[in-house]
Amino acid sequence: MRRIVSVLGLVAGSGWLCGCATPGRPTPAAAETPAGPVATGFVFDDANGNGVRDAGEKGLARMRVSNGRDVVLTDGHGAYRLPIDDDTILFVIKPRGWMTPVDPFNQPRFYYIHKPQGTPALNYPGVAPTGPLPASVDFALRRQAEPDRFQVLLFGDTQTASIEDVNDFAHDIVEPASGTPAGLGISLGDLVHEKPALRAPLSGAIAQLGIPWYNVLGNHDMDYAAPDDQHSDANFERTYGPAYYSFDYGPVHFIVLDDVIWHGATAEKKGHYTAGLGAAQLEFLRNDLELVPREQLVVLTMHIPMVQIAERKELYALLAEHPHTVSFSGHTHDYRHWFIDARDGWPGATPHHHTTVGATCGSWWNGALDEVGIPHATMADGVPNNWCMVTFAGHDHAVEYRAARRPADYQMNIYAPDAVPAAQAGQTEVLVNVFAGSERSTVEMRCADGAWTPLERVEREDPYYVELKESEKATPPPKGRKLPKPDKTKHIWRGVLPAGLSAGTHLIEVRTTDVYGQTYLGRRIIRLE
């Protein structure tokens, strides 16, 4: 049953006041006063920044607070009231222009865990007993500037399995990403490869970016000894808080989803995971989006691609009421775009754009060591391990792919022979892997300052990756560092050299313009004999 608990529906004399609706933001429907245990508290302006509501610190009206299902608005004094049980995480939905406290790793602390008895230790420690509910569960906010145009860092699958992996991640990803003018960052799940002890050094590396950092739960962040999904997230919650939540930054509403459902082992089956959301999370989404203005951009982040979620039709229906949406995931260790439309069950007027943004670990930190001793970790679609920077401006956004420890303009590999007979130029194939390319990219080639000609998008294995994999037969990588088999990629383009080129050395140029209107240029030299 749908529930939106609102301060507007509580009776006079209870201390709850009705506020006026914010222009452009709908007011939720009234609901009955919840029966059973309730949490109460305040959202307040933390003037001195100590995280505690001191005398004189003002409560903030019309702030959103959730128990993971219901969403309420604080009253004129900043007070809220929410139903709870013994397995509840309360959290404030950060509004634009305000910030929650952060821990020493710059991870936002916007939540309170209420699990009086804690959770059992399985493979990993669970949530420690939190004891009785405090008389007031308060959430601190402090003002901060948030421009209309800002940038966000996205890290897909850091997936460190050893302290050496953490070191490689720090050098390969964090060092090049440092200094970027981002307002925040998000890791898209599989933070560690079933090694919770590595979370602290991993977070310590990410903290050097100096920005608030949010985390998505991945399938390798769960406890596989759990009998069910409810307990599988406990160790993640112990470190990071709720596995799903939302917040605003600038003019954008961000939603972090937990789309990994754990099915514990039975006598008949081993434990396994599937992609899904569950009833409580869907209800939270419904209630959360009810309070998001229709004109606001909604950005969803998750681990498993949206197209695999069991309840994707229900999710699509909720999102379709908002004309400006986009989503990102990790999990697949490749770079791919989906333009979800009516053929996929999308009911919106325009397709929904979903992107899997590759992986910072690439092929799980595998492959031969490069010149500085880091596995090259190229992914099976031929794309180097990477991170992404997203620029948001109002309803618009643009994603920039960034290869690990490479210049920002390194966006493609061009494959052509070093030398061919001049008479065979017109039959000589040129392949281009545009790392972040999509069906909406344009890719053109010219040679020797000739005319630009369009290339044809094909599904092929990346030639360089095929060679890398083949080379493992002659020079096996260190134990456990073998690359996966090559995959056909959807972002390779094909053409041939112009016929009639004269003998000599020539420059091949490839120009691509992506779905966001960003243009990049690649070059390769070929010799005609």
Domain containing 465 — which CATH number?
Answer: 2.60.40.10
Looking at the domain assignment, is residue 416 inside a domain? yes
> What whole-number distance in Å separates Cα of residue 170 and Cα of residue 307?
31
Looking at the domain assignment, is residue 66 inside a domain? no
Looking at the domain assignment, is residue 203 inside a domain? yes
Same domain, 393 and 418: no
Looking at the domain assignment, is residue 174 inside a domain? yes
* pLDDT score for 304: 98
Same domain, 392 and 419: no
Residue type, 368: A
Same domain, 244 and 182: yes
Last residue of a domain, one of 359, 384, 403: 403
Averaged in consecutive runs of 10 residues, what is the pLDDT profile of the chain (529 residues)? 35 28 37 73 97 96 98 98 97 98 97 97 96 97 97 98 97 96 97 97 98 98 95 97 98 98 91 97 98 97 98 96 97 98 93 98 94 94 98 96 97 97 95 98 94 97 96 84 93 96 96 98 97
Contacts for 70 with CB less than 8 Å, ≥ 6 apart: 3, 4, 5, 82, 83, 283, 284, 287
Same domain, 196 and 332: yes
Same domain, 161 and 250: yes
Whether residue 63 contacts residue 95, with contact meaning beta carbons closer than 8 Å, is answered with yes
Q: CA angle 380-299-107, nearest 5°?
A: 85
* pLDDT score for 449: 86
Looking at the domain assignment, is residue 265 inside a domain? yes
Same domain, 381 and 442: no
Whether residue 152 contacts residue 184, with contact meaning beta carbons closer than 8 Å, is answered with yes
Same domain, 304 and 284: yes
Q: Where are the alpha helices (DSSP H) in 434-497?
A: 463-474
Structural domain count of the chain: 2
Domain that holds residue 522: 412-528
Per-state percent for the chain, helix, strand, coil, to nearest 5: 15, 30, 50
* pLDDT score for 223: 96
Helix axes of 279-290 and 312-319: crossing angle, nearest 10 degrees = 10
Same domain, 326 and 347: yes
> What whole-number distance in Å separates Cα of residue 474 and Cα of residue 477?
10
Last residue of a domain, one of 403, 423, 438: 403
Last residue of a domain, one of 382, 403, 424: 403
* pLDDT score for 33: 56
Looking at the domain assignment, is residue 183 inside a domain? yes
> What whole-number distance in Å separates Cα of residue 357 and Cα of residue 293?
27
* pLDDT score for 273: 97
Same domain, 450 and 524: yes
* pLDDT score for 478: 77
Host H or E run for residue 506: strand 504-513
CATH number for 192: 3.60.21.10
Q: How does DSSP assign 388-410, residue by residue?
A: EEEEEETTEEEEEEEETTS-TT-
Residue closest to 93 by CA, chosen among 84, 103, 106, 80: 80
Looking at the domain assignment, is residue 41 inside a domain? no
Same domain, 418 and 381: no
